Amino acid sequence: MYFHCGNVTKIIGIISGKGGVGKTTVSANLALALKKFGKKVIVVDCNLSTPHLAYYLGVSDYKYTLNDALMGNVEMISAVSSSDGIRYVPASLQMSDLSGISLANFEKNLKTLVNPDKVDYIILDSAPGLGKEALTVLTACNEVIFVTTPFAPMVNDVMRCQEILRKIKGTKTIGIVLTMTTNGVHEMSPQSISKLTGAPVIGEVPFDRNVTYGLVSKSPIMNYDPDSLASIGFMQLAANLTGKEYIVPAKMKMYKLMAKVRNTLLPAKVAMPKSIQAVKEDIFIENK
């Protein structure tokens, strides 16, 4: 169990090295999965330069945005909108709303959302990479979920993120969520990813076309198809975070079994590194 929430408001930063790996998908659907476990959640779009959260949640009828809060027009608590029981703070789609905002005001503003009686989790959907927006999220959060696809270069990105976290005040744990996995032999296993990074893999969301079908239907996968493999992955992640029991549906077990059979009967013609040391050499990590 990671990031278990007692009577505090936990702030989780959703971070990645590469763009397009599924952070916003994780942010929106983790919020919905946590809600299914009875948790009170606010999800905040911290990707000010390319905001997508509202679209992914399928909402547009909000009054204020994070930009308004950072401009000092309203307190962040007033920029919280609600839809379908999910509370969210969108970022503005207007380019003009990028001027006059100060990220330096973010943490102070975020404190207006912290209220253990009313909010169990605040999820911060970051911009990709480890630039200004991500640094703001890394500084403001208590815990980090590092979202990545299961390919070797991610190890370097996680290590950079860990290095930044060491320099930031306060101890913050980091857990990895693998997205768009296919259980193919060309992918790194969660075990070797954990060994290489020293960070636990706390969730795995299979590649699932329904995620994109939901997206274009303006409905997050947890609502669009709660029985899909991706939704099961999000429920497993939320169960892991909250320490609640979740019985993994047979569908997921069957999917994993089929992947094993496929890997045995139709082995992919790829030369994968044979050991952790070989992976390190492959991605230029020095042997210490």
Ligand X SMILES: Nc1ncnc2c1ncn2[C@@H]1O[C@H](COP(=O)(O)OP(=O)(O)OP(=O)(O)O)[C@@H](O)[C@H]1O
Give the binding site for ligand X (CB under 6 A): 16, 19-25, 47, 50, 52, 128, 179-180, 205, 207-208, 211-212, 215, 230
According to CB under 5 A, which one of 9, 15, 17, 24 is a site residue for Mg ion?
24
User: Which residue in the block uniquely carries the two structure tokens 């973010």?
Assistant: 106
For the chain, the first-to-last Cα distance in angstroms comes to 30
Residue closer to Mg ion by CB (options 52, 172) is 52
CA atoms within 13 A of residue 24's CA, in its CB half-sphere: 24
Residue closer to ligand X by CB (options 50, 60) is 50
Q: Which of these ranges, 20-28, 157-165, 166-174, 237-245, lies near Mg ion under the rule CB under 5 A?
A: 20-28
Cβ 195 to ligand X, closest distance in Å?
24
Asked if residue 66 lies in contact with residue 76, where contact means CB atoms within 8 angstroms, the answer is: yes
Residue closer to Mg ion by CB (options 40, 52) is 52
The Cα–Cα gap between 246 and 251 comes to 14
Cβ 4 to ligand X, closest distance in Å?
25
Cβ 125 to ligand X, closest distance in Å?
7
Cβ 171 to ligand X, closest distance in Å?
26
CB-nearest residue to Mg ion: 24
The secondary structure of 6-35 as a DSSP string is SSS-EEEEEE-SSSSSSHHHHHHHHHHHHH
The Cα–Cα gap between 98 and 75 comes to 17
Please report whether residue 142 would count as binding Mg ion according to CB under 5 A.
no
Residue closer to Mg ion by CB (options 120, 125) is 125
The Cα–Cα gap between 211 and 206 comes to 10
Residue 193 interacts, among Mg ion, ligand X, none and using kind-specific CB cut-offs from 5 to 8 Å, with none
The Cα–Cα gap between 96 and 169 comes to 33
In this structure, the strands spanning 143-148 and 86-89 are: unpaired
Cβ 118 to ligand X, closest distance in Å?
27
Residues that bind Mg ion (CB under 5 A): 23-24, 52
